[in-house]
Amino acid sequence: MDDIVKQALAKWPHVPHCYGWLGLDGRGQWYMRDDRTQALGAFASGVPQARGSLLRHDKLIGFIQRNYEADADGQWYFQNGPQRVYVELEFTPWIWRVASDGGVAAHTGQPVQARELLTDEAGRVYLLTDLGFGLVHTQDVGLVADAVEQGRWQPRRTRAAELPSRFGFVLSPQARYGGRALEPGNGS
């Protein structure tokens, strides 16, 4: 967490949490979702306009990614100064990029060690790593297939609906709390 964020938390410890305003898609891209966008539907609803505006500002994206964490209930958030901005997840809290040499990194740029490979009924590919559980970026599925053919990974089948409870993450904190703002430490 950035030092400036820690200082803001110490100065203003009781800022209400924010829900529904930030989303992470299956390609590791961040989306800002205003009230009008949220009214169109849930982030993962499949309604293109419900995703919101794709963030393109590299410094803002870097700030979000450096301050991206999970709470004790498996809800992922971005600590924006004193305010916790909960993230709507399309699939998983992490999106993995796989390199041609077999190295794996998170959408945040952190290198990780893969421990387990899973595939679901829709053909999506996931990795359990030392950092956590996430979806493999669609552009890298071919590299994963090559690694499987070479015997480096052995895939196991899973069901997508079971993943949040099995790996302890919440897809929609907004849906969980009905979109209402909560004070820190009160239901978060």
20: domain CATH number is 3.10.540
Furthest C-alpha separation in the chain: 54
- How far apart are the C-alpha atoms of 60 and 18, rounded to whole Å? 17
- Residue 116: give the domain boundaries: 94-159
Whether residue 8 is found in the same domain as residue 73? yes
Whether residue 172 is found in the same domain as residue 80? yes
Let me know if residue 72 belongs to a domain: yes
Whether residue 172 is found in the same domain as residue 85? yes
Let me know if residue 188 belongs to a domain: no
Where is pLDDT greater, at 2 or 158?
158
* pLDDT at 101 > cutoff 80: yes
Let me know if residue 45 belongs to a domain: yes
Neighbour-count burial of 113, counting CB atoms closer than 10 A to its CB (0-12 exposed, 13-18 middle, 19+ buried): exposed
Residue 41 backbone dihedrals phi, psi, to 5 degrees: 145, 175
Whether residue 84 is found in the same domain as residue 7? yes
- How far apart are the C-alpha atoms of 1 and 6, rounded to whole Å? 7
- How far apart are the C-alpha atoms of 127 and 76, rounded to whole Å? 18
pTM here? 0.87
pLDDT at 177: 76
Domains of the chain: total: 2
pLDDT at 180: 52
3-33 tens-digit pLDDT: 765 666 566 566 688 899 999 999 999 999 9
19-78 tens-digit pLDDT: 999 999 999 999 999 999 999 999 999 998 999 999 999 999 999 999 999 999 999 999
